[in-house]
Amino acid sequence: MNEAVTQALPPTGISTTRRFIKNWAYLFTSSVFCQALGMISLIRVARVLAPAGYGYFNIVQTTAGMALIIAGLGMRNVIIRDCARNPENTKALYTASLFLRFLLSFVVGMGIILYALLSPRVLPISLSGFAIMLLIGQMMWDTTESVSFGLQQMEFSSRTNTIGSIIWVLWVWCVPASVLSVAVISFSFALLQISKAILLGRQVNRVIPEARPLDRSHLRKDALSLMIASLPFYWMMLLETVSHGLPVLILAQRSNPEQVGLFNVGFRLLNPLRLLFLTSTSVLYPYLSNAKVENPAQYMKVIEKALKAALVLGSACAFLVFLLRVEVVSLLFGEKYGGSSDAMAYQCWFIVLLAIQYIFGISLLAGDRQRLWAILTTVYTIIILPIVWFGAGHGATGLAAGMAVGVAISVIFIWPFFKKSLPSGFQSKNVTRSFIVFGIAILSSWLMPNNISLVIRIPIACIILFTLAILLLKEWKKGFFSLT
C-alpha cells in the first residue's frame, strides 16, 4: 500500500472510539460555530428582507436543494461507503461521480428555468439563475465532501465550512441594508458556495489515494457502475426531496412566500438541534458500514445507543425550545415573525422524529438493505404528501403540524420492519423506555397552556437542563458513548 493510501486510512494506533469521537468533534464543533455565525447573519438577512423577501430567498435555496437531489443521482452514500471500504479506488470514484453530476446538472438547470416560467409567483425568472448557480456549488461541495467523509477526513469539511461562515456573516453585516436585496443576497450566497467547494476540493485532492493510475478510457464504465449502485439510494433521495423539500414550494403556492419566510425562520432557529442529529448520523454511517461486515454484534449495539441518545436528548432539547420559542423569535426577529413561534411548536418535535427515522435509515443502508429502505421511504412519502398538501393551505403552522404528524406515522410504521432487520439480541425494551420518555415530553407540551407565565417556564427549563446534565454525566461514566 503506497503512502497516499496510508495517509487516507485512519491510523492503526487510534482506537475506533477515539477515531469516531475525533471526527464527530470536528463536525459538531464546526457545526455549532457555523450555526452561531449563521444565526447572526440570519437575523440581519431576515430583518432586512422582511418575511416576504426572506421567503423568496428560501425558495431559491429550496429549489437548488431539490435540484441537487435530482442531479446528485443518490451517489452520496455510495461514495462514502465505497471510499471507506476501498480507499485505493477513490480517484476513479470521484472522477466518475463528478462527470455524471455535472452532466445531469445542465439538464436540471433547464428544468429550473422552465419551472420559473410556469410558476413566476413562486420562483420569479429573475431569481432562477441564482438557483442554478447554487445548484452547481452544492453539487461540487456534496461530491467532494462525500469523498472526504469516506476517507474519514472530516476536518477538511469542518475547516472550510467555518471559513465560509465567517466570510458570510462579515459580508451581510458590513454591506449597507439598502444594497441587500433578494437578488444580491441570493447571488452572493451561491458564489460563496462555489468558492467553498473549490477550496474543499483542493484539500481533498492532496490525500486521495492513487493506488492505481486513473484510466480515463474506463470513465464511462465506472460512471455506469456507480449509477447502477446508486439507483436505490437515488429513489430514496427523490422521495426525501418530495417529502421535505417540496412542502416549501407547496406552501408558497397554496399560501404565499411570506408564509415560507415564517416557516423557514423557525427551522433555521432549530438548525442546531437538527445538525446535532445529522452530524452524529453522518459520522456513524461509515463506521456502521464496516461494523456490519466485521462485527455485527457491535453494529447492533451502536444502533441501540444511537436511538436511546436521540430520544432522550431530543426530548429535552425539543421541550426547551417549546418553552422559550415565543420570546426567542420576538427578541431576534421582531413582531413581524410572530407566526414562526407557532410553527416551531411542531417543528421541534418533527426534527426529533426525523432523527429517529434517519437512524433507522442509516442502519439499514449500512447493512446493504437499501431496497427495503426504498420501499419504506416510498410508503412514507405516500403518507405525508396529502397531509402536507392539506396543512400548507393553513400557512406555516399548518404545514409544520402536518409534517410532524406525517413523520410520526412513518416512525410507527417503519419500526417493526427495522427491528426485524437487525441481528438477534436487540434490546428493544431499553429503547422502548426512551420512546415512552419522548411521548411524555410531547404530551406535556400539548397540555401546557399557551399563556403560562415566563416566570414559571424558566424554572422548568432550568430543571430540565440540570436533569439532562446529570443523566449525561452518569451515562458517560458508564461508558455509554463508547463504540467498543
Scored b (16 or more CB within 10 A) or e, 280-319 reads bbbbbbbbbbbbbeeeeebbbbbbbbbbbbbbbbbbbbbb
DSSP states of 191-251:
HHHHHHHHHHHHHHHTT---SS---GGGHHHHHHHHHHHHHHHHHHHHHHIIIIIHHHHHH
HEC per residue, 167-180:
HHHHHHHHCCHHHC
Examine the domain organization and report whether 275 and 416 are in the same domain.
Answer: yes
Are the C-beta atoms of residues 187 and 42 closer than 8 Å to each other?
Answer: no
Note whether residue 298 is domain-resident.
yes
Q: Which pLDDT score is estimated for 6? A: 35
Regarding whether 288 and 204 lie in a shared domain, the answer is no
Supply 51's cell numbers. 418575511
Give the pLDDT score at 213. Answer: 55
Sequence-distant (6+) residues with CB within 8 A of 415 are 360
* Separation CA 424–CA 287 (nearest Å): 20
In terms of domains, do 225 and 282 share one? no
Helix, strand, coil shares, percent, the chain, to 5: 85, 0, 15
Residues 307 and 176 in one domain: no
Q: Is residue 406 part of a domain?
A: yes
Residues of the chain where predicted confidence (pLDDT) is lower than 50: 1-14
Q: Is the pTM of this model over 0.85?
A: no
161 and 264 co-located in one domain = no
191, 136 in Cβ contact below 8 A? no
Q: Would you say 391 and 398 are in contact if contact means Cβ atoms under 8 Å apart?
A: yes
In-domain check, residue 241: no
Residue 237 placed within a domain: no
pLDDT tens figures, 395-440? 888 999 999 898 889 888 888 888 887 766 566 666 777 788 788 8
Distance, CA of 223 to CA of 216 (rounded, Å): 11
The number of folded domains in the chain is 2
Q: Are residues 225 and 273 in the same domain?
A: no
User: Are 75 and 233 a contacting pair, CB within 8 Å?
Assistant: yes
Of 231, 246, 268, the residue that ends a domain is 231
60 shares a domain with 21: yes
164: CB partners within 8 A, 6+ apart: 34, 192, 193, 195, 196
Do 242 and 44 meet the contact criterion of CB atoms below 8 Å apart?
Answer: no
Question: Residue 471 sits in which domain range?
Answer: 255-484
| Best CA proximity match to 266, nearest among 364, 169, 345, 360 | 345
174 and 290 in a single domain? The answer is no
- Indicate if 223 and 278 belong to the same structural domain: no
Predicted local distance difference test score (pLDDT) of residue 11: 43
C-alpha cell at 70: 435530482
Q: Which three cell numbers stand for residue 3?
A: 503512502
In a domain, 238, yes or no: no
Q: Are residues 104 and 169 in the same domain?
A: yes
